[in-house]
Amino acid sequence: MNGTIVELTFRQLLSQRRNIALVLAALGPVLIAVTYRLGADTDFDLSQAGQPYSHHQRFVAEALLSDIVLATLLPLVALIVGTAVLGSEIEDGTAVYLLSKPIPRWKVVLSKLVVAWAVTAGFIAIVTLAAGYIPLVGQPTEVTLRGVTYSFGNGYALPVGFAVAGIAGALVYTALFICLSIVTSRAFVTGLIYVFIWEGVVTRLFSGTRVLSVRQYTFSLAEWLSNAAPEVFNARLGVTTAILMTVVVTGMAFWFAVRRLERFEIGEAT
């Protein structure tokens, strides 16, 4: 890793107007959580395993953290940040100043990846924890169902599990999108197609394609880390596969990005 590149990339990201859009996007899930908290009644049920769960937990996991934060916000933020850290330099021609230095290309990609990951992961972790806790804090932890009184957890493990899964997902997404930004000048559009067509439609229709969906890896990790009951949240990919694919996809995206950057031609983007 190269400290100068890391510093330069952070400054580059901070100087961009799109940060305002990111902050506004972050407010979305938090506002939804506040609105839900103000309007929803407490409601409980028993899981198939005979464990009680609150519908608050289900809302937090199913709707708020998975559908809105992990499935929508995470890939969008990763796409914006991942394609900006190197892609914008390639696009405007400033990448030449970076690449005409005696620095191995893997160090360039690693430095960019670290910044993109840190920014995306930090952003997602804060939003996940904030939006996840708001509906759960202060909710009853004891409930009587069919004459039996149950004590159960407050569900705080949910936001933490989803936040950690989001951090892992941020690594895969940013590695993929950095790679994409080196490969094509239309990285943003290609990324959007991947997120909304491939992950949003194709992997829902054809179960075999889930193994190629970062969203599914993140969901699987979230389920595993938060130890959620199936009624609260149910991922559709095994955790072993998810961990393996997280490592494999990140590694391959990194390797391919380095390889492409080693063969970077100025005429490709200028």
Rounded Cα–Cα distance for residues 68 and 113 (Å): 24
Paired with 148 in beta bridges are 145
Amino acid identity for residue 174 in this structure: T
Contact 82, 192 (CB under 8 A): no
- Closest CB 118 distance from another protein, rounded Å: 19
Q: How many DSSP H helices and E strands does the chain contain?
A: 13, 4
By CB under 8 A, the residues from 99 to 128 that bind another protein are: 99-105
Q: How far is the CB of 186 from another protein (least distance, A)?
A: 19
Task: In angstroms, give the least distance from the CB of 25 to another protein.
Answer: 23
Please identify, using beta-carbon distances, which residue of 99 and 160 lies nearer to another protein: 99
97 vs 137 by CB, closer to another protein? 97
Asked if residue 9 binds another protein (CB under 8 A), the reply is no
Please name the helix (run of DSSP H) or strand (run of DSSP E) that holds residue 103, with its range, or none. none
C-alpha 240/C-alpha 32 separation (Å) is 33
Query: Which of these ranges, 3-11, 117-125, 167-175, 249-257, lies near another protein under the rule CB under 8 A?
Result: 3-11
* Structure tokens given for 154: 């407050």
CB of 77 to another protein, least distance (A): 21
Pair 30, 133: CB distance under 8 Å = no
Nearest distance from C-beta of residue 252 to another protein, angstroms: 21
Backbone φ, ψ for residue 147 (5° rounding): 85, -5
Contact with another protein (CB under 8 A) among 48, 151, 208, 263: 263
Quick one: which of 15, 48, 149, 151 contacts another protein (CB under 8 A)? 15
Burial class (CB in 10 A: 0-12, 13-18, 19+), 103: middle
Q: Which of 68, 85, 98 is nearest to 215 (CA)?
A: 68
Of 59-98, which residues contact another protein (CB under 8 A)? 92-94, 96-98
Min dist. Cβ of residue 31 to another protein (A): 31
Under the binding rule (CB under 8 A), the answer on residue 20 touching another protein is no
By the criterion CB under 8 A, which residues form the site for another protein? 2, 4-5, 7-8, 11-12, 15, 92-94, 96-105, 262-267, 270
